[in-house]
Structure 1
Amino acid sequence: MDPRPIGVFDSGLGGLSAVRVLRRLLPSEPIVYL
């Protein structure tokens, strides 16, 4: 398994909603939200 986190850069157009879905679908994966 790849230990690197999933990175999400939010430009202000739905990034937080995408992170919520990612966290629900991939609860054990590290996610970095910028």
Structure 2
Amino acid sequence: MRYLALACDYDGTLAHNGVVSDETLTALERVRDS
């Protein structure tokens, strides 16, 4: 399955206090590469 777009909130969802965790970044990279 390919995703054409991913829409989400940033601060409080992907990031906390403006910082994206390594775990979140890794998960997003796995989705991108799938």
**TM tier, shorter chain?**
0.3 to 0.5
- Higher CA-based Rg: 2
TM-score normalized by the length of structure 1: 0.38
Q: Larger relative CO (CA 8 A, sep 6+): 1 or 2? A: 1
TM-score normalized by the length of structure 2: 0.38
- Structure holding more strand per residue: 1
